């Protein structure tokens, strides 16, 4: 039992510490990161018909290779997660761990492969291949900036929620005014509020192509206000996130032990 625990601990240290200079850690995480990039590259080039038909056999072989590696990695992380503070219970700890964001990303990026391979109806499950793009997010473990962004969103979650509710209110209100003003003048373009929402979205984000625009006085005035207010609406969450980054930068930095989860100055 002691040898089993020792092996699990050593395996956990390899999986968890990607910054270590130890040869095994560097080999594992280097290979994992390379396969993440390879998988992303395959996802892109497979959309080119001529390349896909010519090299489909090689693409499938590489896909199998990456999926086998990702599956083994996932199982090893579930097996060793009891070494992490907060997940020490053999069953409940692992159950809690597999529902963490990164582990959900891992499993969702793996499942489509097995659905496609073990299904006789390839086209029926092809829609699930969209989840392959989630493999890009596996790289989050290696980019500290993503962790910082996640902390900022968590710290400012209440302010962000209020700002998004306010933006939604303005969005629905403006769409309703545009609909009321334009429904009689342009019943084909502003037939209902959901249709008017497209105009509001394209105006706020300035991606409209001029295919839909107001012709009434009230509609034009509202459209102009939407254009100006849109800039302010985007500035609200931006300022909230900026405030969050400033809060984090002003906090005293603490070191977090990757093995026990405890913090110290």
Distance CA 96, CA 73 (A): 18
How far from 210 is each of 198, 230, 265, CA to CA, in Å? 12, 17, 57
The C-alpha atoms of residue 241 and residue 247 are separated, in whole angstroms, by: 10
Task: Give Cα 219 to chain centroid, integer Å.
Answer: 37
Architecture of domain 157-256 in this structure: Orthogonal Bundle (1.10)
Q: What is the pLDDT of residues 162-198, one digit of tens each?
A: 888 888 888 888 888 888 888 888 888 888 888 888 8
pLDDT at 58: 87
- Tokens encoding 249: 């930068």
- 156/162 Cα distance (integer angstroms): 10
Residue 96 has pLDDT above 80, yes or no: yes
Convert the pLDDT of each residue in 129-152 to its tens digit: 667 777 888 877 777 666 777 788
Per-residue pLDDT tens digits for 225-239 = 877 777 777 788 888
Q: Report the C-alpha gap between 101 and 243 in whole angstroms.
A: 25
Q: Enumerate the CATH 1.10.287.70 domain ranges in the chain, comma separated.
A: 157-256
The answer to whether the pTM exceeds 0.85 is no
> Is 207's pLDDT higher than 70?
no
Any idea which fold 2-142 has?
A: 1.20.120
Which parts of 126-216 fold into alpha helices (H)? 144-155, 157-182, 193-204
User: According to CATH, where is 1.20.120.350 located in the chain?
Assistant: 2-142
Secondary structure of 220-256 as H, E, C letters: HHHHHHHHHHHHHHHHHHHHHHHHHHHHHHHCCCCEE
Give mean pLDDT, residues 243-252.
Answer: 77
């Amino acid at each position: 039992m002691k040898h089993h625990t020792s092996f699990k601990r050593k395996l956990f240290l390899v999986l968890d510490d990607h910054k270590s200079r130890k040869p095994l850690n560097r080999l594992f995480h280097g290979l994992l990161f390379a396969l993440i990039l390879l998988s992303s590259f395959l996802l892109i080039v497979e959309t080119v018909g001529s390349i896909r038909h010519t090299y489909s056999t090689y693409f499938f072989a590489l896909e199998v290779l990456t999926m086998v590696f990702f599956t083994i990695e996932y199982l090893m992380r579930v097996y060793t997660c009891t070494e992490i503070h907060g997940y020490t219970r053999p069953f409940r700890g692992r159950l809690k761990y597999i529902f963490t964001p990164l582990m959900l990303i891992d499993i969702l990026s793996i499942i489509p492969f097995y659905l496609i391979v073990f299904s006789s109806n390839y086209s029926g499950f092809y829609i699930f291949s969209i989840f392959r793009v989630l493999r890009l997010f596996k790289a989050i473990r290696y980019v500290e900036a993503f962790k910082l962004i996640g902390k900022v969103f968590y710290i400012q979650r209440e302010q962000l929620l209020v700002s998004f509710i306010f933006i939604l209110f303005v969005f629905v209100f403006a769409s309703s005014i545009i609909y009321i003003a334009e429904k009689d003048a342009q019943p084909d373009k502003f037939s209902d509020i959901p249709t008017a929402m497209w105009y509001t979205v394209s105006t706020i984000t300035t991606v409209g192509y001029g295919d839909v625009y107001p012709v009434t006085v009230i509609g034009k005035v509202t459209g102009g206000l939407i254009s100006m207010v849109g800039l302010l609406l985007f500035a609200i969450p931006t300022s909230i996130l900026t405030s969050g980054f400033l809060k984090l930068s002003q906090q005293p930095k603490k070191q977090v032990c990757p093995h026990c989860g405890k913090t110290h100055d």
